[in-house]
């Protein structure tokens, strides 16, 4: 998505070979018009999949996920990184290790918001090693539902996450695929 790539080049900061800071438009301050276009792009790509719900992991995936859910006219569900005291054990949980933070957390989904007949579009802000996406997939599959597609705002293609998801047969649609990062350097995968 050309507009997203331009925004990354203009406002993103590559801190080193693995970390891209995009807090000015995606994960601290949010550019709502860009998120609307991103959500529409995901919705258009996955519109023929019979999507019944859009899932995302808190918190940076919420803005693009809600925009896709609006366009698809389906509910959006947030997978929580911390268990709520009011969920009373009626949850699916799995452990996920965050590449960016270097920490682990329990990803939690209330059983109330998923059904075995659901066809889920999973949206996340970044794809690096694929741990967050795989955690979401585990919860969806544990509930007996189907992962009908995975939408990624920014993919770090030089890390193994994409291959892990491709090897499992998932349709992964990334809007900006980065081939290389270095301090002050951001390069994108050349799309054919």
Annotated binding site for 5-phospho-alpha-D-ribose 1-diphosphate: 128-132
CA atoms of 100 and 83, how far apart (whole Å): 21
Binding residues: 20, 27, 128-132, 156
Binding residues for xanthine: 20, 27, 156
> If you write DSSP's letter for every residue of 125-155 in order, what string do you get?
EEESSSHHHHHHHHHHHHTT-EEEEEEEEEE
CA gap 31, 116 in Å, rounded = 34
Length of the chain: 192
> Can you count the helices (H) and strands (E) in the chain?
5, 10
Task: State the helix-helix crossing angle for 32-46 and 62-72, rounded to 10 degrees.
Answer: 50
Kindly report the three-state secondary structure assignment for every residue of 19-33: CEECCCCCCCCCCHH
Neighbours of 64 (CB within 10 A): 29
């Amino acid at each position: 998505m050309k507009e997203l790539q331009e925004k990354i080049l203009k406002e993103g900061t590559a801190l080193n070979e693995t970390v891209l800071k995009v807090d000015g438009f995606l994960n601290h301050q949010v550019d709502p018009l860009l998120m609307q276009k991103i959500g529409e792009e995901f919705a258009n790509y996955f519109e023929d999949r019979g999507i019944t719900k859009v899932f995302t992991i808190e918190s940076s995936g919420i803005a693009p996920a809600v925009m896709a859910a609006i366009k698809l006219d389906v509910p959006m569900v947030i997978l929580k990184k911390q268990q709520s005291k009011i969920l009373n054990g009626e949850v699916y949980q799995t452990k996920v290790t965050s590449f960016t933070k270097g920490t682990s957390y329990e990803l939690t989904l209330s059983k109330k918001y998923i059904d075995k007949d659901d066809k889920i579009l999973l949206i996340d802000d970044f794809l690096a090693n694929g741990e967050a996406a795989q955690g979401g997939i585990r919860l969806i599959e544990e509930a007996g539902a189907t992962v009908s597609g995975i939408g990624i705002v920014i993919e770090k293609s030089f890390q193994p996450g994409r291959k892990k998801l491709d090897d499992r047969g998932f349709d992964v649609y990334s809007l900006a695929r980065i081939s290389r990062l270095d301090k002050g350097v951001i390069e994108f995968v050349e799309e054919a």
